[in-house]
Amino acid sequence: MRLIWALGLLSLLGGSGYLFVLMEPQLLPVRVVTVDGAVKRLSPRQLQESVITHLRGGILTQNLAALKTAVEAMPWVRSANLRRHWPDRLELVVVEQEALARWGEDALVCSDGVVFTPDDGAFPRGLSKLSGQDKDARTLVEHFLAWGPRLRTLALEIEALELDARGAWTLRLSAGFTLALGTGPVEERISRFIRAYPTLVAAGMPSLVDMRYSNGLAIRWADVGGDSEGPVAVEAVRSAKLKSRASKPSRS
């Protein structure tokens, strides 16, 4: 008899639980979704609609992890968290992505190396462009953030930074020339460029500065005014000062 009573009680509790789960969305519905956090690219209405679309259940049985995943799938959302507030409110706290630079032709990258693509294709203006394989995004961002302030002391901005499939680094700078660092000791090479740049720019306007040398550099001068003899003569003088006779180009 005790076993029968126990089984009956368990059945009653199980049936009551099933009925509660079945009726809970009607008895304790989610009526309000509030949005907290500074958002610029996404409106609170868009975020609320994303939550409302994925509601499954009432305030007690709502799967907050599933709602979090749905909101974080939105392109400009970096992170999202949801909390229940009795009796009928969900609070959504959002941290928005902040684009550091463009990534290739159709994406953006943030300061921690996360690549994302806005649905509306609207990119902030004035961003530098980083190019490489997605797996190298964090490395590109780290170098961009490290080199940018150093070059800024020379009134140079990085307009584009590329890491190709061979591991070769190339920069496009705001003064209008390309800086080739190659695949070798790039930190030493960019330090050498920073030391040489004031002398270099005093000699003329380059179109390419090639740092892929053991202890020197090579310069292709911009053709200003169509007179090539002046730049060529300056290049010979500058090469003698900036590159030793023993300096050999690196294949990297």
The pLDDT of residue 142 is: 98
- 96 neighbors 42 (Cβ within 8 angstroms): yes
pLDDT at 135: 95
What are the residue ranges spanned by the domains of the chain? Answer: 18-96, 100-242
Three-class SS of the chain: CHHHHHHHHHHHHHHHHHHHHHHHHHHCCCCEEEEECCCCCCCHHHHHHHHHHCCCCCCCCCCHHHHHHHHHCCCCEEEEEEEEECCCEEEEEEEECCEEEEECCCEEEECCCCEECCCCCCCCCCCCEEECCHHHHHHHHHHHHHHHHHHHCCCCCEEEEEECCCCCEEEEECCCCEEEEECCCHHHHHHHHHHHHHHHHHHCCEEEEECCECCCCEEEECCCCCCCHHHHHHHHHHHHHHCCCCCCECCC
Q: What is the pLDDT along the chain (252 residues), one digit of tens a residue?
A: 555 554 444 454 444 444 445 565 677 889 999 999 888 888 899 999 999 999 988 888 899 999 999 999 888 899 999 999 989 999 999 999 899 999 999 899 999 999 988 876 678 889 999 999 999 999 999 999 999 999 999 999 999 999 999 999 999 999 999 999 999 899 999 999 999 999 999 999 999 999 999 888 999 998 755 443 333 333 433 443 444 334 455 546
* The CATH number, out of the four listed (3.10.20.310, 3.30.300.130, 3.40.50.620, 3.30.1510.10), of the domain defined by the range 18-96: 3.10.20.310
Q: How far apart are the first and last CA of the chain?
A: 87
Strand order in the sheet with 77-85: 32-36, 89-96, 77-85
| Domain 100-242: CATH class, spelled out | alpha beta
